[in-house]
Structure 1
Amino acid sequence: MTNMTLRKVRHYVALVVAVITATTFLSAGGGDKIPLNSAVKHGKLSNGTAFYIMRNTKPEKRVEMVLAVNAGAVLEDADQNGLAHFCEHMAFNGTKTFPKQELINFLESTGVRFGADLNAYTNQDETVYMLTIPTDNGQNVIKGMQVLRDWASAVSYDDKEIEAERGVVVEEWRLGRNADERVREVHNKVIFAGSKYAERDVIGDTNVLLRAPADNLRRFYRTWYHPQNMAVIVVGDIDPDDAQALLEKHFVSRTATAGSPPQRPSYPVPPIQETRVSIATDKELDVPSVEITHIAPGRRLITEDDYRMSVIARLHQQMFGMRVAEITRKPSAPFTVAYTYNAGFPRDMRQFVLGARGNDKNIMKALNGLLTEVERVKRHGYTATELQRAKDAMLAQIEAMSHEADKTPSQQHAMEFVRHFLNDEASPGIKAEYELTKKLLATIEAADVSKWVAAEASNPHRIIALSIPEGNGYAVPKEGDVKNLISAVTSKQIDPWVDQTIDKPLLAEAPKAGSITKREPIAEIGGEVWTLSNGARVYLKPTDFKNDEILFSAWSWGGTSLGETKDIVTLQLAATMVDAGGLGEFDGTQLGKLLQGKNISISPSASTETFQMNG
């Protein structure tokens, strides 16, 4: 599976803002070092391969086995452009212990859905392979470990299989060449200008993919798949001592290459001294969009000081996201959707991205709106009420995760340890992270956020990327137009943000309680049916899937079929409008502010025959 640009999650905040749980840093700051989760067995085998082992029984009778290789597309030579990802594909075409069909047969026999796009990914910096193996048969666990070992050191690279796979990889390139990818490729050459990252998009050069000698592929594997460049992660329903014994038996004696690994070169992105502008058009784009990417040096998430800075970054993201979400609800909004995200890619830089989709043919209106809000934060900062809500929301989210610590899936733990190995990202465990977050939030004031914003999220070290559909009357500005707009925004009067809130309870009067008039057991599922005094029936089923969560669905007969045929479109949109609206004196924005920091979700819907409420 390729990662052609950034491994990023977009946080669309027209309706909701999501908090990122970690930000990638590079150079460590001061303060106490955050320890690794004490439940983890962590060390190095005698050949230099790192290992992480942890027992976890969610799900039961399953174990996650992961091979993390600290090598990706940026390490390719010119005649290998695309071959790091090709190496990933070849791992599923047979190894010395498991010829191709035997590998397929084994993985299928364990119930694993597998393949180069399901059990692995490659990006510019790394390649990661993943297996989920049932543990109710010890031989499966042993064979799973052998597969991982062979991927690390004994992939076959059979000439016939290489030739057959060329077409598969090129087809993946073809399928990925959509409009979004084409404009992203244009923008990345501006973002990463002067660095090898601008030349390596993972999927590579089709000429290399189709014609490169097979030995070029083998050379990448021999050079970079070195024991000291790898970590093996084992998390699941398995005894840690048994897992370590299997690692030592199967990994220590096998290497893809001998001797010390070559020094991994660094390809830093040159600092951006002033705003860069990238404009890309494509006839297949649906809507115009803009992204403002602020660049800052990388900083590893190792110490408490590092973590504090990441908390401040997330608070800014939360508050800025809520502001632009509020703007999108206004009839005069310059954009229909706005979002924020942080990207720790490449490893020696951080990207703080603000984006929006335009609501007409002129993307400059959306850009003006984003630039204005950036400048507003830079000049006036955030209000005390905004900061408190953002703190409450962050703490509520991580507290909820802490309550479910014993329900955390093994795969989630495993990928945390992958980041610990590859990015030096602290992994103390969610309970320790909750306590640390609570401690640090108490020390953060509005002035701390403003200081961070001035240094890292409103500085001139940024790229403004415009993506615009070709033709159909869409205006395509020039670079000079963008820079003139920047000057106009920085010189205009911008008032402080007014954080309007309603200081009232959601319900003026608490509803009068009814009563349960009848209880009926449902023996087959261990549940009950209650009949309430108002005639409603409640089906109750206690579960232990989560420690601190109640889910409900409510429905009644009715639905859109009750309306007139001529009103069908309106009826179908009615539930969506109710969901986006508010309650009582609270409009959608005010209701969102009231509920921020509370783990509650309610959503109405309507089918042809029913009205429903879920949450």
Structure 2
Amino acid sequence: MSFYPKHQLSIAFVLGISLSSPMTHARVIDPLYGPIPVDEKLIKGQLENGLNYYILPNKTPEKKVELRLIVKAGSLNERDDEQGLAHFMEHMAFNGTAHFPKHELTNQLEQMGVQFGADLNAYTGFNETVYILPIPTANPKNLSTGMQILEDWAFNASLDRTEIEQERGVVLEEWRASTQNPESRIMEQSIGVMAKGSTYAKRLPIGKTEVIEHAPPERLRDFYHRWYRPNLMAVVMVGDVTATQGKALIEQHFAKHTNPNASEPLAKSSVPNNQEPVVAIFKDKDLTANTITWLQKEQNDTVLSRDVRGYVNDQKRTLLTQMMNHRLSALLDSPTPPFVGAVVQIGDLGGIVRNKQALHLIATAAPGQQKSTLEALQREVLRVLQHGFTQPELDRSVKEMLADMQTQFINRDKAESASKAAEYVRGETEGEPLPSLAWEERTLRSELPKINLNDINALARYYFTPENRMILVAGNDSTAALSEKSITTLLGQTPEVEPYGEKPDATRLLTTPPKAGKTIATTFDKALNLTTWTLSNGVKVSYKPTDFNQDRIEFASTMAGGFSRLSDEDWQRTHWAFDALPEAGVNGLSKTQLSRLLSDKVGQVELDADDTQQGVHGFFAPKDAETFLTLTHSLLTGLNNNPDSFKGVLERNMAATANLERDRMATFQDTFERNLNRNNPRFHGAYPNANAWKNSDYALAYRNFRQAFANVNGLHFTFVGKIEPKELQRLSELYLGSLPSDASQSPHFKDHGYRPDFTNRTIEVKKGKEPLSLVHIEFGGETVYDPKERMAMDAIGYVMTMRLLNQLREAQGGVYSIEVSGQIIKQPYGRYAFAIDFPCEPAKADALTQSALQELKQFITAGPTSQEMDKFRQARTVSRREEVKTNAFWLSQLQGALKNGSDPKDILSYENRLNALSAADVQKVARNYLTDHMVIAVLKPE
């Protein structure tokens, strides 16, 4: 439960693509002025009382329906004495309704396998409140129960006085956890400037603590009855349901409700334009990053894209931002990059103002480099204004968009229900058009190639004007060279800059094909439907065909070794350098040249290494299989040796991590881990400091990388998805069978013998001034790996999460969220780990810690109840039945079996093993592992 949807506010103020158009609509007969059609598979309608509904039958995943209740009222609709009540009301919907008194709602859902927080959730924004309810429908009665819950949220919340008083503490803890950090402080100040003159600047959804603490229950009930009404609601139903069934359920539960006789109109708020640039500088010594946000507001308020022309204009915006992002990314190839990172996006102003769009250019500056970063942004803006983009840039971006489109539309009938439900929520709340993917495919194929360079350059000139410009600077450097005056002076300067230039695009990854290996053995596992080819160089390739996602092949490889092969000294000198190696590119091509070469391809390949193994992982569209197997071969054999590239990565990484010691959370994690690993010379800290970066040895890291893959005997690839087996075998022989190997050498990893110290103790870390504590309780030690004990540890984490939410959150009102997890791990040595984490008020940290440990003690003494075990089994059964229909699941399980040396057929027996797990089994594991070897860490203010 949260007061912002995930796609809203961030310190960088980034959102997605605008749905409005600055173009003037001429009244001519033109297909482009036709309306955007609604997806013919979507049943969209309205009840007589004004409630809108969206129904989409969809069997991915099977036996599940995603329900959403949308209330088009958020914090903008609050009166001065109601600030925070929209969000408070969202909380209270879970605390008792007519048909589900008190906490019976969560109890019923847990019996279905729906977990509070992980599945069941809600959020409150400025303009709406949305309730999220996934319903497993293996039991057909569940959907009716889910619809009753939606109806009760909408009209039958109990709003019991006792429950309201008890929930105040929970809402305050959410306020504490979400606002007591420097990023939130800067965000609030930035919104005040950015949305000045509008209600947005005064109505953050989290509200004011004095209202949360003292608003009488009658005021909350008044807000509920005033705004929770049918003509401000919509119901979304996507999943394994028929249109007839869905419509009948919506009518049954919502058609009978009426609107108040005198309905208060929705609040409207606009952000005024500004003729002169607005400049603001925000400083907070605890910020870990220095950011510059360059905003260019659109002149007119948002007009939704209702016709095809508006839809095409949206694609022009995408092309504009895409080309600018490519230019900014290319600047990072330099040994002295002008910024740590930068991004351009067009969307709601600051990610929050629904009726005002803006272009957002956001950059992160290195310490003390804010001025040079802003100057670099200014140069690139002037370069676009003075010279425009080039035709090759546009051609590449069009190809890239068409490639992205193709990978979406190949699998158009298998869209995940949750993502479609989110799309319909945006359609209702933001006016996003809801055409079919097939229509979008036809339209983009037809219209994208018609967009010419003049269109994009004109759009850039439309945005980058002195009017409606805002520059917001946030940093921790009180002596930074930037001031409001210096920024204004810089913006007023328009020196001539050189046109954009780039090297000719590469045409191929490899100049000559490698010498192919051969398949020397083939095996087939009927139970897993898994074919494995052994190649002549010792590489094995396993392929599992699926039809879950026909546009995406998931793959990974593994062989024993990893970082364990390095000496303690070499590990310390290279640890932070390994991630930088791929930034150099391959086969003499820079990363930017590679990006251009692959602009019309869909996929990626990344290195994958840890203490026990090494390999690669990635994905690709079936049409691009050869490209990404070529890239895999190139990454393992042709990685560039480029010290200048490493210097650039080093500069950026040093800047990005330079101020982490200011961050309370990073300091807390680092202190805890250093204490836990105090006897481990291989431990490198939770994050790198300046010395760690300076001591990183690129030459040594590069040499160790080449040695690690100089012999791939034992490297095992797994591919999951839909591709012609003979073609995959041919490509594997050519690009994987040609990798270097030595059959006399077998891969292995080394256990260096260092172990974390779990001697019982408490670690107290005092950092920062915010009235927020974090509590971390961790048990750990060595054990013999046992898959049954691993499952039991998972059960303990699940049940203890429920118990601690009930005790620490609902009964005591002391926390907003709590995480409990347990696992048994096999590599590099058998060990167990169990952790409890929660944020809270500092004064309550010790008492809440003792409450948590007391609950754990009771669990160990009595074990889980039969009802708790049933809920655990149901939750894992529901999630497992969804997971097995994904390529990512099968890849993870098959590769996990290879890494652990376990039988991959164990994947098939999971539900049987789950049902065989008893309460006594779980209690035994808790007794064995959770009575000793415990470290408690508490973060408190200074």
TM-score, normalising length from structure 2?
0.62
- Distance in 1 between residues matched to 2:533 and 2:119, nearest whole Å: 48
Q: How far does the alpha carbon of each residue in 1:313-354 deviate from its partner, in whole angstroms, 9 at most, with x for none?
A: 111111111111111221232211112233323221112211
For 2:339, the aligned partner's letter is F
Tell me if 1:478 matches 2:474: no
Q: What root-mean-square deviation, in Å, do the aligned CA atoms of Structure 1 and Structure 2 show? A: 2.3
Deviates more, 1:26-35 or 1:352-361: 26-35
What is the deviation of 1:577? 2.4
- Distance in 2 between residues matched to 1:146 and 1:44, nearest whole Å: 19
For 1:483, the aligned partner's letter is T
User: 2:44: which partner in 1?
Assistant: 42
User: 2:339: which partner in 1?
Assistant: 335
Structure 1 residue aligned with 2:547, among 544, 548, 570? 544
Q: How far does the alpha carbon of each residue in 1:270-317 deviate from its partner, in whole angstroms, 9 at most, with x for none?
A: 112221111111121012111111111312122111111111111111
- Distance in 1 between residues matched to 2:414 and 2:11, nearest whole Å: 26
Structure with higher helix content: 2
Deviates more, 1:26-35 or 1:44-53: 26-35
User: 1:92: which partner in 2?
Assistant: 94
Greater gyration radius:
2
User: 1:562: which partner in 2?
Assistant: 565
User: 2:188: which partner in 1?
Assistant: 185
For 2:253, the aligned partner's letter is H
Conserved in 2, the CA contact under 8 Å of 1:294 and 1:456?
Answer: yes
For 1:363, the aligned partner's letter is Q
Tell me if 1:129 matches 2:94: no
The ranges of structure 1 where at least 4 consecutive aligned residues each deviate by more than 4 angstroms after the TM superposition are 8-12, 26-30, 115-118
Structure 1 residue aligned with 2:285, among 279, 283, 286? 283
- Distance in 2 between residues matched to 1:19 and 1:205, nearest whole Å: 25
Deviates more, 1:23-32 or 1:446-455: 23-32
- Distance in 2 between residues matched to 1:44 and 1:428, nearest whole Å: 18
- Distance in 1 between residues matched to 2:54 and 2:23, nearest whole Å: 22
Tell me if 1:388 matches 2:395: yes
What is the deviation of 1:549? 2.0
Q: How far does the alpha carbon of each residue in 1:249-283 deviate from its partner, in whole angstroms, 9 at most, with x for none?
A: 1111135x523633223211111222111111112
Conserved in 2, the CA contact under 8 Å of 1:576 and 1:605?
Answer: no
Q: 1:10 to 1:378 in 2, by over 3 A?
A: farther
- Distance in 2 between residues matched to 1:232 and 1:523, nearest whole Å: 44
Tell me if 1:352 matches 2:333: no
What is the deviation of 1:219? 1.8
- Distance in 1 between residues matched to 2:523 and 2:555, nearest whole Å: 19
User: 2:610: which partner in 1?
Assistant: 607
What is the deviation of 1:358? 0.9
For 1:386, the aligned partner's letter is E
1:442 match: secondary structure: helix
- Distance in 1 between residues matched to 2:558 and 2:211, nearest whole Å: 58
For 1:446, the aligned partner's letter is L
Conserved in 1, the CA contact under 8 Å of 2:11 and 2:187?
Answer: no
Structure 1 residue aligned with 2:591, among 572, 582, 588? 588
Q: How far does the alpha carbon of each residue in 1:112-146 deviate from its partner, in whole angstroms, 9 at most, with x for none?
A: 12259951111101111111111122221111101
Deviates more, 1:352-361 or 1:456-465: 456-465
Structure 2 residue aligned with 1:25, among 14, 20, 32? 20
- Distance in 1 between residues matched to 2:36 and 2:5, nearest whole Å: 32
2:533 match: secondary structure: strand
User: 1:2: which partner in 2?
Assistant: 3
Q: 1:590 to 1:10 in 2, by over 3 A?
A: farther
Q: 1:116 to 1:63 in 2, by over 3 A?
A: closer
User: 1:577: which partner in 2?
Assistant: 580
User: 1:164: which partner in 2?
Assistant: 166
- Distance in 2 between residues matched to 1:453 and 1:506, nearest whole Å: 33
Q: 1:89 to 1:609 in 2, by over 3 A?
A: closer
After superposition, residues 229-268 of structure 1 pair within 5 angstroms as 229-255=232-258, 257-259=259-261, 261-268=263-270
Q: 1:444 to 1:269 in 2, by over 3 A?
A: same
- Distance in 2 between residues matched to 1:78 and 1:11, nearest whole Å: 28
User: 1:445: which partner in 2?
Assistant: 452
For 2:439, the aligned partner's letter is A
User: What are structure 1's unaligned runs of at least 5 residues?
Assistant: 13-17
What is the deviation of 1:475? 1.3
- Distance in 2 between residues matched to 1:596 and 1:415, nearest whole Å: 28
Q: How far does the alpha carbon of each residue in 1:176-219 deviate from its partner, in whole angstroms, 9 at most, with x for none?
A: 12111101111111111111111011101111111122222122
User: 1:292: which partner in 2?
Assistant: 294
- Distance in 2 between residues matched to 1:361 and 1:274, nearest whole Å: 27
Q: 1:144 to 1:26 in 2, by over 3 A?
A: farther
Q: How far does the alpha carbon of each residue in 1:379-415 deviate from its partner, in whole angstroms, 9 at most, with x for none?
A: 2111111111111111111210111212211111111
Greater RCO structure (CA 8 Å; 6+ sep): 1
Conserved in 1, the CA contact under 8 Å of 2:44 and 2:55?
Answer: yes
For 1:192, the aligned partner's letter is A
User: 2:320: which partner in 1?
Assistant: 316
User: 1:398: which partner in 2?
Assistant: 405
Conserved in 2, the CA contact under 8 Å of 1:66 and 1:232?
Answer: yes
User: 1:57: which partner in 2?
Assistant: 59
What is the deviation of 1:556? 3.2
User: 2:121: which partner in 1?
Assistant: 119
- Distance in 2 between residues matched to 1:414 and 1:4, nearest whole Å: 14
User: What are structure 2's unaligned runs of at least 5 residues?
Assistant: 26-32, 619-942
* Length, aligned pairs only: 604
Conserved in 2, the CA contact under 8 Å of 1:51 and 1:233?
Answer: yes
What is the deviation of 1:476? 5.7
- Distance in 2 between residues matched to 1:224 and 1:483, nearest whole Å: 44
What is the deviation of 1:534? 2.5
Q: 1:511 to 1:11 in 2, by over 3 A?
A: farther
TM-score, normalising length from structure 1?
0.94
For 2:3, the aligned partner's letter is T
Conserved in 1, the CA contact under 8 Å of 2:368 and 2:477?
Answer: no
2:322 match: secondary structure: helix
- Distance in 2 between residues matched to 1:247 and 1:592, nearest whole Å: 48
- Distance in 2 between residues matched to 1:570 and 1:551, nearest whole Å: 33
- Distance in 1 between residues matched to 2:576 and 2:337, nearest whole Å: 21
For 1:194, the aligned partner's letter is G
Conserved in 2, the CA contact under 8 Å of 1:506 and 1:584?
Answer: yes
